[in-house]
Amino acid sequence: MCCSSAESGNDFSSLVAEEYLRLFNFQSLTLDAALRKFLKQFQLVGDAQEKERVLMYFAKRYVDANNTTFTDVDSCHTLTCAIMLLNTDLHDPKIQNKMSLNEFIENLKGLNNGYNFPDVLLESLYSAIKNEPLEFACKI
């Protein structure tokens, strides 16, 4: 599916995006595994705001499927965007000073609905992204 229809932000496009995401089974997957599954099948195109909107739909679907992992869609969305940034930071050859685990954790302090994300979660996500870059359905 091309993102252009899912990204325009109107009510119809929002409904289409939400319905499309219902086709994905994210139940019992870690956040990075669910994001990998989604990004391999969905062409994430457009400007940063459009991509972020699509990632919000992803976060809503992930929370619906895993309601014990996150209590809040915004926290899931924040962490999803942080994973995308981490992936770019760690795997873009043009970036020489790579983000450390401590910097990743520090950058996310207080962003879990006013609290910190569990260190064990952030350590696991950092390691997963460092060891295996995200793959995309197309170049972004």
Q: Taking the complete model, does pTM exceed 0.85, yes or no?
A: yes
Question: Are the CB atoms for 122 and 128 separated by under 8 Å?
Answer: no
Per the model's pLDDT, the better-predicted residue between 131 and 49 turns out to be 131
Tokens at 40, concatenated: 């391999």
pLDDT tens for 3-60 read: 444 545 677 877 888 889 999 999 999 999 999 999 999 888 888 898 899 999 999 9
Checking 100-103 for CB contacts under 8 A at 24+ apart, the result is 101/126
Cβ neighbour number for residue 38 with a 10 Å cutoff: 23
pLDDT tens for 66-83 read: 988 887 999 999 999 999
Give the domains, in start order, of the chain with CATH numbers. Answer: 4-131 (1.10.1000.11)
pLDDT at res. 64: 94
